[in-house]
Amino acid sequence: MTTTILHNARLIDGTGTDPVADAVVVIVDGKIGYAGPAAGAPQIDDSAEVTRVDVGGNTVTPGFFDCHVHLSLPGTKGSPIMAAMVPPSYRYFELLNRLKATVGAGVTTVRDLMGVDVGVRDAVAHGLIEGPRLLVADKMFSQTGGHADFHIPSGLDGTGLVGGTIVDTVDEARREARELLRQGVDVLKVASSGGVTSPSDDPDWLGARTEIVAALVEEAENYGGRKVAAHAIGFLGIQAAIQGGAHSIEHGYALTDELRTEMVERGQFLVPTLIETLKPDTATPQAIAKSTKWHALAHESIQASVEAGIKVAVGTDAGLVPDHGANLGELGCLVKFGGMTPMQAIVAGTRTSAELCQVDDKLGTLEEGKLADVVVVKGDPLADIDSIADNDNILLVLKEGKTVSNRGAYAL
């Protein structure tokens, strides 16, 4: 049995309760044995294999989630077009630094909603490569001319390259879904509205109709209780996603009060991807033109969604506009635009996101028996939530009790 004790810590455990100023976190064989006041910490037998780490009064939090990433895309580090210029094997090697940057930012679990397959997920899970725990969708569904359709006027088709799948009927959607579910994906992704990046549509346009969303929801539920994430920016697409029963609404910029009420009643999650809206989307000329309108609406919309009581989880669209490793900038956006407190933003990125990903029984909070995904943050992020976005302030990252990043040079 191996035991690691983090002491002299400020504890934010992810539950939303007040921080503990003088706290101890005990990790036993990769799980949380105790997290709470130092005065209540259990006595540890010094004859056991124990590592004691003084974290210097810094803050200990759960590992964070990013529920909307695209590891196959380069962010500002390149152009998506370059994917067409290299063999598929080259693109897998490009993932290595992106995975490392993400987990080094304190994000120990991600949901990749188009672009990487179950092999990448399993390679991380089996320890072949380093990175955050992955939940993958692999493909994104849309109709012909929709958000996943990357046919361009020259006649070239980039749909498969970016990870799109075209379905124009309910039966086609069911068949394609079953193939992905057979492969073992964790979640299905559908575009029920147009998008900013896609060349042939607009976010105002209706994408996958309600009946297609509902069919995907049924298939996912029948194949192991899996869920559907819906890209939905404009009103019609959001309405179709909500009424079709999608588990999470991705973006949701044009939400109305009526639709917000319906989301709350249905228990659906919102993943607002605000950090994506801080810079123009330059993936295509059409995207640049569409960014201004829709990014402004995102900033105007999110506070009403928070106030309505919608369950808001953290997602960034990292790889599309934001860079991999910039993920926790989303927390500051939830405070700035959404009106959340810093504590609420941290809970959104931990417990609520774990609930969305259906792993809250083992992740998302620092409670006895849960997996020891633990982050040490310099200083007090409740006093300066934007500080958590600076990777230099992420001093230590443990994933299931094992060190994956140690900028604080702690003796582990």
**pLDDT (tens digit, 9 = 90+) per residue, 316-328?**
999 998 999 999 9
pLDDT given at position 77: 86
CA 178 – CA 3 distance, rounded (Å): 43
What pTM value is reported for the model? 0.96
Please tell me the number of Cα atoms within 13 Å of 132 on its side-chain side.
30
246 CB contacts (<8 Å, ≥6 apart)? 190, 192, 213, 217, 227, 228, 229, 230, 232, 268
Whole-number Cα distances in Å, 132 to 119, 334, 361, 365, 382? 14, 22, 18, 16, 24
**pLDDT (tens digit, 9 = 90+) per residue, 356-393?**
999 999 999 999 999 999 999 999 999 999 999 999 99
CA 241 – CA 254 distance, rounded (Å): 13
pLDDT given at position 43: 85
| pLDDT for 101 beyond 80 | yes
**pLDDT (tens digit, 9 = 90+) per residue, 240-268?**
999 999 999 999 999 999 999 999 999 99
pLDDT given at position 47: 62
Which residues are bridge partners to 26 per DSSP?
Answer: 5, 34
Pairing of strands 374-377, 59-62: antiparallel
**pLDDT (tens digit, 9 = 90+) per residue, 191-235?**
999 999 888 899 999 999 999 999 999 999 999 999 999 999 999
pLDDT given at position 46: 66
Q: What integer is the mean pLDDT of 149-177?
A: 89
Whole-number Cα distances in Å, 300 to 214, 274, 295, 297, 307? 29, 11, 9, 5, 13
CA 48 – CA 6 distance, rounded (Å): 16
pLDDT given at position 146: 93
pLDDT given at position 85: 84
